[in-house]
């Protein structure tokens, strides 16, 4: 579907992030391959969100390298959906238009594409509503639509449904599956192992800032190779 | 109490001198507020978002200038506009334009400082999201000014309050010339000194009413905005 060349794979080379003397990300090397759904799993404080922010360029690593296949295009070819979306104090439609305008897209094109996104995601009836006054689920759907309207090649999702009820969680999961089917690469964290089982192609498992496993989802869930991952999957490893 | 009834009489009858003074006051102050906002809102937002050497110094200076005594501002403008001053040839001294300049100088630090504070808080909230969407700090200026619109009303109002209440600056650069540069505050000063309390009281009441009306309106806008835009 995409004309432009892929910015993937994304390679992390011995990536570290240290705050004062605390090592939060410890020499992580891994690969994000195109058109896969990669899940970053691990207990609380493992560094999952941090790893996503490092990949997305929101935080600068203290050591190691982030290597995109096309570093020039990489910044515009990625998007991120946060656990708690930050929406502008404007209408739903204006939120979408603003995101496109930031990319230097003209007013009319931005409006047309935004309206198309509203239709695509069933948000048409909310178009003129103030985004901040939507329900949590509606806000996250808008955040997803805003990420999609920019047509990123890679989408980072940081526990996008952790604060949502099961019905909305399903909606968000369906959106992720659809994005993926369109060729978008997904890199996502979740606390919900059921969700990971439903959606993941690949899994990397973090524990205390270190990458302990990196494998296809099936083999991770069926035959985890480390004791930590086994404990985590059994619900016994919380930190 | 004769002065009070005479004051109400003046207001009720729509005394032309009274109306002229009110008209000039509002024209001067509102123009100064407009200028203060056109310059102060973007500058305050930039001060909040951009990082440059000496930034803290600039922040402190504008905070301090919020307390600039109006007479000092008036004196500075006087020196600049006086016949021998750098802008003397423009012949602006003792004109409404001079008063607008002086009041804009008083308003500017307030608008800048309060805008900076509002925008800094908003940036804290929006930073990750906007950076993720590809916004530079400079590009975030219009975004945050618009998203902070209801909070910014407070700063603009504070600027209006300062300008409409001050007498020192407009007196020095305007000269309190009847029918030309006489504002509500300078008229109150003069009429009180001369013992003509009825006009002074009438103007005082109107000044209070204007301030109250504007504050009520702004408060209403703020409340409505927070409810309507979240």
CA distance A71 to A77: 10
What does the pLDDT read at residue B53? 96
Yes or no, beta carbons of A98 and B131 under 8 Å apart: no
- Does B135 or B226 have the greater pLDDT score? B135
Q: How far is CA B108 from the centre of its chain?
A: 7
A10-57 pLDDT per residue, tens: 999 999 999 999 999 999 999 999 999 999 999 998 999 999 999 999
Yes or no, beta carbons of A86 and B128 under 8 Å apart: yes
Reduced 3-state DSSP string for B69-136: CHHHHHHHHHHHHCCCCCCHHHCCCCCHHHHHHHHHHHHHHHHHHHHHHHHHHHHHHHHHHHHHCCCC
Q: Which fold has domain A10-86+152-233?
A: Rossmann fold (3.40.50)
What does the pLDDT read at residue B221? 86
Chain B residue with the nearest C-alpha to that of A83: B129
**Which of the four pLDDT bands, split at 50, 70 and 90, describes residue B1?**
low
Q: Is the pLDDT score of B154 beyond 90? A: no
Q: Is the pLDDT score of A8 beyond 50? A: yes
What is the set of domains in chain B, with CATH numbers?
A: 2-13+21-222 (1.10.3720.10)
Yes or no, beta carbons of B230 and A89 under 8 Å apart: yes
Yes or no, beta carbons of B131 and A132 under 8 Å apart: no
The DSSP call for residue A5 is P
Of A82, A99, A103, the CB nearest to B128: A82
Q: What is the mean pLDDT of residues B33-55?
A: 97
Residues from A in contact with B at Cβ < 8 Å? 53, 56, 58, 75-76, 79-80, 82, 85-86, 88-90, 98-99, 102-103, 130-133, 146, 150
Chain B residue with the nearest C-alpha to that of A59: B128
Yes or no, beta carbons of A76 and B125 under 8 Å apart: no
Q: Is the pLDDT score of A127 beyond 50? A: yes
CA distance A3 to A107: 23
Q: How far is B128 from chain A (nearest CA, A)?
A: 7
B68-82 pLDDT per residue, tens: 999 999 999 999 999
For chain A, residues classed under CATH 3.40.50.300 are 10-86+152-233
Q: What is the mean pLDDT of residues B81-104?
A: 95
CA distance B53 to B151: 28
CA distance A232 to A238: 7
């Amino acid at each position: 579907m995409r004309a432009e060349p892929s910015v993937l794979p994304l390679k992390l080379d011995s990536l570290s992030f240290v705050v004062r003397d605390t090592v939060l990300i410890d020499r992580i090397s891994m690969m994000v391959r195109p058109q896969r759904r990669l899940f970053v799993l691990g207990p609380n404080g493992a560094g999952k969100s941090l790893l996503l922010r490092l990949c997305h360029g929101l935080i600068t690593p203290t050591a190691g390298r982030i290597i995109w296949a096309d570093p020039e295009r990489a910044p515009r070819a990625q998007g991120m959906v946060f656990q708690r979306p930050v929406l502008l104090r404007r209408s739903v439609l204006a939120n979408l238009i603003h995101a496109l305008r930031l990319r230097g897209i003209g007013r009319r094109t931005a409006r047309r594409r935004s309206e198309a996104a509203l239709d695509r995601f069933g948000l048409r009836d909310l178009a003129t509503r103030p985004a901040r006054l939507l329900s949590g689920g509606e806000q996250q759907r808008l955040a997803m639509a805003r990420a999609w309207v920019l047509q990123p090649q890679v989408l980072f999702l940081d526990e996008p449904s952790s604060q949502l009820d099961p019905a909305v969680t399903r909606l968000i999961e369906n959106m992720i599956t659809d994005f993926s089917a369109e060729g978008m690469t997904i890199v996502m964290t979740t606390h919900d192992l059921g969700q990971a089982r439903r959606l993941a192609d690949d899994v990397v498992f973090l524990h205390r800032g270190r990458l302990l496993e990196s494998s296809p989802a099936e083999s991770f869930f069926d035959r985890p190779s480390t004791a930590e991952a086994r404990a985590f999957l059994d619900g016994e490893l919380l930190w | 109490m004769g002065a009070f009834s005479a004051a109400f009489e003046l207001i009720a009858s729509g005394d032309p001198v009274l109306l002229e003074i009110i008209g000039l006051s509002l024209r001067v102050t509102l123009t100064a507020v407009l200028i203060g906002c056109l310059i102060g809102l973007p500058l305050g937002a930039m001060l909040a978002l951009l990082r440059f050497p000496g930034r803290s110094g600039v922040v402190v200076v504008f905070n301090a200038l919020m307390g600039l005594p109006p007479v000092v501002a008036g004196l500075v403008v006087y020196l600049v506009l006086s016949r021998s001053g750098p802008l003397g040839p423009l012949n602006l001294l003792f004109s409404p334009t001079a008063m607008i300049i002086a009041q804009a100088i008083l308003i500017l630090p307030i608008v800048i400082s309060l805008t900076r504070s509002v925008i800094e808080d908003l940036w804290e909230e929006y930073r990750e999201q906007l950076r993720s969407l590809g916004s530079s700090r400079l590009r975030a200026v219009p975004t945050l000014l618009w998203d902070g619109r209801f909070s910014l009303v407070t700063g603009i109002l504070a600027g209006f309050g300062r300008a409409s209440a001050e007498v020192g600056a407009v007196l020095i650069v305007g000269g309190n010339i009847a029918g030309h540069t006489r504002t509500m505050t300078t008229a109150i000063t003069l009429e009180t000194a001369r013992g003509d309390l009825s006009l002074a009281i009438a103007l005082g009441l109107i000044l209070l009413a204007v301030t109250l009306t504007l504050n009520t309106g702004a408060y209403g806008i703020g409340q409505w905005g927070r409810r309507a835009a979240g």
